[in-house]
Amino acid sequence: MAQAVSGLVAVYPGTFDPVTNGHLDLVQRCAPLVDRLVVSVLANETKSPLFSTEERVGMLQEVLREFPNVEIDFFDGLLIDYARRKQARLILRGIRAISDYEYELQMALMNRELAPDAETIFMLPAVEYTFVSSRLVKEVCRLGGDVSNLVPPIVLAKLRERLQAGS
Ligand code: PNS
């Protein structure tokens, strides 16, 4: 049986392939508002991520180590089942632009249909990160562009190693 967890718990789910400064900005905003924030990597490899689940978890652990109430984890299956296991009432998602809204609205309402007691909360990243996505960061880095302002240094090193090796 799951151990009782006290306080307000939020889950921040995502692919995090890899974590960007936009994700970190969201964690910085949410962590002070809750007792525990679980940043959780979707382990579903059918999305063909650049980094394995272990690598994505490892990068998050390194860049978020200074946050005492942030836990890094991974999950597969339905998010709401995972959130229930974590005793999380809140699901955190970031919205960068109106274009994110439709997809996020669908997911939030489906999750509400499945688990009416869980609430999705949306937060906005800092304006300077509103154009940043893991997908674009990978594309730009693969083509030799500079993404050093958009990801933490350890992520930059891993991206370069993976995408620019031999070039
Ligand atoms: O970073 P992403 O790729 O936008 O994150 C998407 C994620 C992981 C939040 C979403 O794909 C998800 O929750 N997947 C788990 C499976 C699930 O619960 N699907 C139904 C969601 S309505």
Q: Please name the residue whose Cα sits nearest to atom 20 of ligand 1.
A: 78
Please determine, for residue 1, whether its predicted confidence score (pLDDT) is greater than 60: no
Report how far ligand 1's centroid is from the alpha carbon of 101 (Å): 14
> How much is the pLDDT for 4?
57
pLDDT, the chain, mean: 95
pLDDT in tens, 103-124: 999 999 999 999 999 999 999 9
pLDDT per residue as tens digits for the range 69-106: 999 999 999 999 999 999 999 999 999 999 899 999 99
Is the bond preceding residue 32 a cis peptide, omega within 30 degrees? no
**Tens digit of each residue's pLDDT (9 = 90 or more) over 57-70:** 999 999 999 999 99
pLDDT value of position 155: 98
**Lining residues, ligand 1, CB within 6 Å:** 13-15, 42, 78-79, 107, 110-111
What residues does 75 pair with on adjacent strands? 42
Q: What pTM, to 2 d.p., does this model score?
A: 0.95
Q: State yes or no: is 96 an active-site residue.
A: yes
Ligand 1: which of 56, 100, 107, 112 to mutate, most ligand atoms within 8 Å of CB?
Answer: 107
Whether 29 shows a pLDDT value over 80: the answer reads yes
In this structure, the dihedral spanned by the alpha carbons of residues 46, 81, 60 and 3, taken in order and rounded to 10 degrees, is -140
Residue 147 reports pLDDT greater than 70: yes
Structure confidence by residue, pLDDT tens digits, 119-143: 999 999 999 999 999 999 999 999 9
23 has catalytic annotation: yes
Sheet holding 9-14, edge to edge: 70-75, 36-42, 9-14, 90-94, 119-123
* Res 42 pLDDT > 50: yes
